Chains A and B, each alone.
Chain A
Amino acid sequence: MTKHSIMFIDDEKIVGDMAKLSFEQDGYEVETFLDGESALERLQEKRFDVVVTDMKMKGIDGLEVLRTVKKLYPGIKVIMITAFANLDVAIEALRDDVHDFFPKPVKIKELKASVKRALGEA
């Protein structure tokens, strides 16, 4: 069985590093990115099963990542995490068909469960 692949985008290195460590333990293939630009570039080369993105980033932010992914690769599920949870952003993300939305700090277990749901495994 091939591994499921997850893309993590967060402008703070520690978030991606921790996510990589804990998801790789569960057998996922993980790539991390510090900004939306490089992540979207990578998506042109490689197909990921799930994208987990931070909301607030310089340049291309999480909402823009979400919109682009949904437009170009509608099959990929997007999960949003943000330290600045507010209802407006959440509603906007929901409109854009976000798979799930978590405030930071997010419990890794919950994020994993959400990824599983996104992959149709749970």
Chain B
Amino acid sequence: MPNTFFRRVQELLGRDHGAASDLATRFRAFQAVLDGNNRTLEAMTEMGEKLGGDYLFDVNYTRSAYDVLFAAVSDSLRNFNLLTDQQYPQLKDILTRIDGLVQRMLTGSEPVFQGQVLFYPEITWDLAEEVGGKNYHLAELANILQLRVPEAFAITTAAFSDFIRHNDLAERLVGLGSADKETLEELRTAILAGSFPEDFSASLTAALKTMRHRLGREGKLAVRSSADEEDGDFSFAGQFETVLNVPCTVEAVQGAYKEVLASLFQANATSYQRQLGYDLGKLKMAVGCVAMIEARASGVIYTAAAGKDRSQMAISAAWGLGPGVVDGLTDADLYTVAKEGDLRLIEQRIGSKAQMVVNSGASGVETQETPVALRGQACLCEAEVLELARQALAIERYYKIPQDIEWAMDNTGRCYFLQARSLRMDEPTVDGSDKGMEAVEAGYPVLLRNKGIVVQRGITAGKVFILRHIDELEHIPKGSILVARHDSSHFVQAIPILNAIITDIGVPTSHMASICREFNIPTVVNTGSATEVLQQGQVITLQAGERGEVVVYAGIVQSLLREERLTGAKLRELYEFRRQKYIMRYIAPLNLVNPLEQEYAPEKCKTVHDLVRFMHEKSVQTLVANAGRTRGTGGFFNRRSALHLLVLPIPVQIKVIDLGGGLSGEGGGKEMGFAEVASVPLRAVLSGMLSPGVWQNEAVPLRGADLLSGMTRAEDLTRDGAAVLENVALASAVYVNMSLRFGYHFNMLDCYCSDTPRNNHIYFRFVGGAAAITNRSRRIALMDQILAEYGFALKAKGDLLVGRLSGQSSEEIEGILEQIGRLIGYTRQLDARLDSDEMVRTLAQRFLQGDYRVTP
């Protein structure tokens, strides 16, 4: 913001009123907060763009870009503390912690926390790397969402490093890039033979004592992998070892711990890491020790049903412990729940569940024949399905993306969550790409039709390889279609050479299913008879459609193959690149979204974006609170009450703080109309907002999926939250700063509009929305297209748009402000309607021609 303006404000406020120096100082602090925030957000979008995969960058770039961002947000914070009289001392601590996390990423240094064991209630937001993804998410379910999670503690990545050092293995983890099978096997053996540092054993002993105390002598544990990047961008589903039913003794847990660590270097896990561009030996393994549940039934929930409409949820269930489902051992029950409106069970397919996995005596688990009476019986009743669905939805809402959740139910019907991670999904195709379904070519016999469940859609051809034993994986020829009785996460080893996978038994919620989606391998499970119908070496074409259609033709159906196969290439990012990119997770996500919520507290800030948002909100509130005080009460607007309510015929209430010359008429009146607005820029933007037709009067119903991705409950929109939900304009004759909140999104406009063009500027920022992110991004694209017409320098990222313009004459500025006023009204609820990119172009064109209809 131009310094000349601060000078003017100071003059304005200081000249005739000696007591106004407080105001001058505070207002300057306010402006400096805005300036720092703007610079922070610009640096953030810039970094997001450069680290997003489209650019070649080096580590120096990340460092210097982060330095710019950190300096900007530090400026903001310093001035914010000045403005608010240090009311929020927590923010400095949060910024320091964020900075620590980023610096650690930049330098690759060890975690600050050096303890070896952390019980779940002790796991806070900044300890994700220490406890690994799986532990971290599970702890969040318990600590934040208050969902039922078994008693558990994490063995940290620091403990892992201690173990590695203690056994002189550190050097052997370097340069494993092209290590052969033997080298990796030796490493596994060395880990399994490793001993524990004394303090590590002591911490573990103490933790297990606590566990025995809580679970009783007979209590058992599941010892599970939780690598530092597990359940992050990539699931690692089923790639590492989990040891079940482990007694609560130091010897037993140490043994299981080493098994889990050693699984870092087992064949499937190394193959997975290599395919995703990991440098072997760089992952740090934390481990979770989670109380075993005597599970009556277990299963997996996909909060968005794979390959289908996202408004449905899929719940699979089998008798006994989880491996029955996640390892695809049994033909599980599959329940489909509609998410829109009230949750409804719309379909249930009861599996034959011939086998079940149960605890085996003192330790370990075993697979048994399911008692005949139980086989055809549903594992869950409708009420249980819906209760699971309700809790799963809460998890999806919290993470704002569809989830892959493991659960178990004990004999009393109590449900526990054992894992939650992001569910990787295809973007649904816009045009119906299943055109080939009718195109059954003459001469291509259909071998299988509409049998099985599509896990990953796609059309492909190849020679059938029927897998009879897992050892045969190494012998599969390139380009094969793997046909197997059961699915297995070990298939990952063959994925680089496979064209597709088809199984007889399996559910779309298994570990293998997650992996196949990650690699975009066309996959169909549960066909019942593929291994019998298809012949070894037979050439077939598989068509797995988006809506769940499956056709297998004999021969190669060229006409179908024209559809390009999606490659897994975009997933194959490099470890170092991802590490740089991960810095953004401490910067860009916005967790504080609705100022109406209880959570709008300083201690809830977890990212730089949160800090910026929080500081803006509280800065405006501080000004409003002070401006509202009348003469003589010591408020910083000492002259008179400077706060007025604008009464306008539009669905938005705006309070104006008159900085001098912003409003005309007698200052005593609380309510004012458009006629009394004297501020040139405020008048311009309001006259745009008052243009006929720009506010879409009918409410747009948010769809179920929108609300899921939304941030809070719908009733919050209508609740009277006047105390916090204020739209505020600070105005002088030539300046305005407006903050407008419409429920879920937020506009900020800052404009100086004088007779000297070089002092003039418009800064416009828009963020948020309640609809799904695709729709929100489309709204941003629409605004981007419109504002570009006026020469704005624009930066857009996700649902954030920042626009800047300067040097225009006051007439030009006024014209543009009117358009912005119209745009503010026009886009208020537009995101929920933007169903295609085509619509974005159409509406942008219409808007520019003064046509504000939003119907397609």
- Which residues does A use to contact B, with CB under 8 Å? 10, 12-15, 17-19, 21, 25, 81, 83, 104-109, 111
Contacts and interface: CB of A to CB of B under 8 A. Distances in A.
Contact of A105 (B55, B572, B573, B574): B55
Given A17-B574, A25-B569, A107 B58 contact: no
Contacts of A111: 56
Given A104-B57, A107-B54, A13 B569 contact: no
A108 B55 contact: yes
The range of chain B's interface size is 10 to 19
Nearest to B60: A83
13 contacts: A10-B58, A14-B57, A14-B58, A14-B59, A17-B576, A21-B277, A21-B572, A21-B574, A83-B60, A104-B57, A105-B50, A105-B61, A109-B54
A14 B576 CA distance: 6
Contacts of A107: 54-55
Given A25-B569, A83-B61, A106 B576 contact: no
B234 interface: no
A12 to B, nearest CB: 4
B60 A14 contact: no
Interface string B54-81: 1111111100000000000000000000
Contacts of A12: 58-60
A19 B54 contact: no
B574 A15 contact: no
Interface string B568-606: 010011101100100000000000000000000000000
Contact of A19 (B56, B60, B572, B580): B56
Contacts of B580: 14
Given A14-B580, A25-B569, A104 B574 contact: no
Contacts of A108: 54-56
A83 B58 contact: yes
A18 B58 CA distance: 10
A60 B574 CA distance: 27
Contacts of B277: 21
Contacts of B55: 105-108
Interface string B33-61: 00000000000000000100011111111
Nearest to B567: A25
Contact of B57 (A13, A15, A21): A15
Nearest to A25: B569
A108 B577 CA distance: 14
Given A21-B574, A25-B569, A15 B58 contact: yes
A11 B50 CA distance: 19
Interface string B276-309: 0100000000000000000000000000000000
A15 B574 CA distance: 10
Interface in B612-660: none
B54 to A, nearest CB: 6
A25 B277 CA distance: 14
Nearest to B61: A105
Contacts of A17: 574, 576-577
Contacts of A10: 58
Given A25-B569, A105-B50, A18 B61 contact: no
A55 to B, nearest CB: 12
Contacts of A18: 56, 574, 577
Nearest to A13: B576
B578 to A, nearest CB: 10
A108 B56 CA distance: 6
Contacts of B60: 12, 83
B61 A106 contact: no
Nearest to B65: A105
Nearest to B574: A17
Contacts of B574: 14, 17-18, 21
Contacts of A81: 56
B57 A105 contact: yes
A13 B575 CA distance: 11
